[in-house]
Chains A and B, each alone.
Chain A
Amino acid sequence: MDWVGNATVKREFDRFTAEVSDLLLRTGYLMTGDAKDAEDLAQETLLRVARRWRRVQLMDRPAAYARRILINLVLHDSDRRSRQRAELQPGDGALDTGDETAARALREIEDVAEFRWALAQLPARQRAVLVLRYWADLSVAEVADVLGCSAGTVTSTASRAAARLAEALAHSDPAAADPMIR
């Protein structure tokens, strides 16, 4: 009986898991603001990658593919829960004055939990744009590709998200909202 042959595949996948775990956990953490949720997301992502492993391992950037799955899991969950779409319609981006206010608000953050809390107040797609653009350091075109929208939509969403983030920071009381912060 030919039962052998998957040992090498498993080793390769184990190596991939070790390589991408940190990326997935931290991306999940920024998208959810919760370490346990991040771990669940990372695990679900790896399970999905495992199912398609033969194809994934032939890709140029399997880690990017895994990150895309994770982001889509968050967005799908968000879509399922409520609204959406309008967030990603190109619109009137924030004005430069808004950007200045936002930059100042970010500079004045004293506790990183405050930022995490403010980020959690954004709609999932706005959060995804910021995480992919400013933490994963993807180009506007790459973000657009991950989220399935136009580059213009990414830039306008980024501006709106930053303005909304500043607004949340201005009104933040994370100690009251987040039981982890005491």
Chain B
Amino acid sequence: MPTPDLENELRGAFTRAAADFGDPQHARDRLTRRNYHPASGHRRLAAGITAAAASAAVVLGLGLSGAFGSSPAHATATIRAPAFTLTSYSNGTDTLTLNPAELLDPTALQNDFQRYGIPAVVTTGSLCTSDPAPAGFSPAVTSPTGKGEGTSQSGAQPTITIDPSAIPAGTELSVGDFQLSSGEYSGSQQADFVLIDTNSYTCSNTPPDPNGMPAGYGQDDGIGLLYGGPGPSGS
């Protein structure tokens, strides 16, 4: 054991070194601003869906805002599920890629979002929204592969990018996935991404208009992805 004199010197040196931490207030603010998602033990998810077939993916007009300025840094972790791939990058962002050939498992996606620090409610057959819509969707969520209404994606797997640190406190991401059974896009899946107020939101089993926005949401307040429909070769 070090002598008492050495122990005193060590305590003094550590106190001075700890006090030397540069700008701890900003670091504390960044830490507390991050929207952690503490396990609360509940959350149930809506009903399942039927079938979907792979083909071209289309990004619909739920307001696309500018993608992140540069491509994400190197991947640090990846979760691969049948219906999605969730990848975490060293710059703090995450990407979600949907596989049109599989039905989305909302529980799995929500749990994996949570593992990556993304507060989210994921539902199938319904979408949860708040009215008014919380601000701050962009730059928290962008679609780096889409450019606007009706734009086809070259690949069949739509991708969105999420910056968890940019999700405003008191809000969380709402993801609603629908199996469309009628209309122009019958047979496709529609995934909508919006922010909701954690303390005030309702869920509807009516999919938003593929070319519009849920009530209370502006063009920059959400992203809609249409994917997995019967493509040129059918399914």
Chain A contacts to B: CB under 8 angstroms: 1-7, 9-10, 12-14, 17-18, 21-22, 24-26, 29-30, 35, 38-39, 42-43, 46-47, 49-54, 93-94, 96, 99-100, 102-103, 106-107, 109, 112-113, 115-116, 119, 130-131, 133-135, 137, 140, 155, 158-159, 162
Contact bitstring B1-31, A, C-beta under 8 A = 1, else 0: 1110111111111111111111110011011
User: Nearest Cβ in chain A — how far from B183, in angstroms?
Assistant: 26
- Give me the interface of B with A, judged by CB distance under 8 Å: 1-3, 5-24, 27-28, 30-32, 34, 36-44, 114-115, 117, 121, 128, 169, 198-199, 201, 203
The complex places the Cα of A115 from the Cα of B10 at a distance, in Å, of: 10
In contact, B32 and A29 (Cβ under 8 angstroms): no
CB distance B5 to A134 under 8 Å?
no
- Specify the chain B residue showing the minimal Cβ separation from A155: B1
Known A50-B37, A112-B20; further 14 A-B contacts with Cβ < 8 A: A2-B42, A3-B201, A10-B38, A21-B28, A25-B24, A26-B24, A42-B27, A46-B36, A50-B38, A51-B115, A53-B40, A116-B20, A135-B18, A162-B10
The complex places the Cα of A16 from the Cα of B206 at a distance, in Å, of 38
How far is A7 from B19 in the complex, measured between Cα atoms in Å?
35
Could you say which residues of chain A place their CB within 8 Å of the CB of B9? Answer: 102-103, 106-107
Contacting pair A38 B128 (CB below 8 A)? no
Does the CB pair A109–B13 fall under 8 Å?
A: yes
- Inter-chain CA distance A61–B201, complex, in Å, is 34
Min C-beta distance of A178 to chain B, whole Å? 12
Contact partners of A106 in chain B: CB under 8 A: 6, 9-10, 12-13
| A38 CA / B234 CA spacing, docked (Å) | 53
Most chain A CB inside 10 Å of its own CB: which residue of B10, B43, B114, B203: B10
Give the number of residue pairs across the A-B interface with Cβ within 8 Å. Answer: 155
Taking CB as reference atom, which chain B residue is nearest A4? B199
Chain B residue numbers with a CB within 8 Å of A115 are 13, 16-17
B-chain residues with CB within 8 Å of residue A116 when the two chains form the complex: 17, 20
26 A-B pairs with C-beta separation under 8 A: A2-B44, A3-B128, A9-B40, A10-B37, A10-B198, A17-B32, A24-B31, A25-B27, A29-B18, A29-B21, A35-B21, A35-B22, A46-B36, A49-B38, A50-B39, A50-B117, A54-B41, A96-B3, A99-B5, A102-B6, A103-B6, A112-B16, A113-B20, A115-B16, A135-B15, A159-B2
Residue in contact with A134 in the complex, picked from B7, B19, B28, B203, CB distance below 8 Å: B7
* Chain A residue contacts of B28, Cβ below 8 A: 18, 21-22, 25
Bound-state CA distance A96–B6 (Å) is: 10
* Docked CA distance A46–B20 (Å): 23
On whether the beta carbons of B34 and A43 are closer than 8 Å, the reply is yes
Contact A39 B37 (CB under 8 A): no
Tell me the bound Cα distance from A30 to B20 in angstroms: 10
Instruction: State the CA gap A51–B115 with chains docked (Å).
Output: 7
Of B5, B17, B42, the contact of A5 (CB 8 Å cutoff): B42
Let me know if A38 and B27 touch, CB within 8 A.
yes
Q: How far is the CB of B186 from chain A (nearest CB, A)?
A: 27
Q: Which of A30, A113, A130 contacts B18 (CB 8 A)?
A: A30
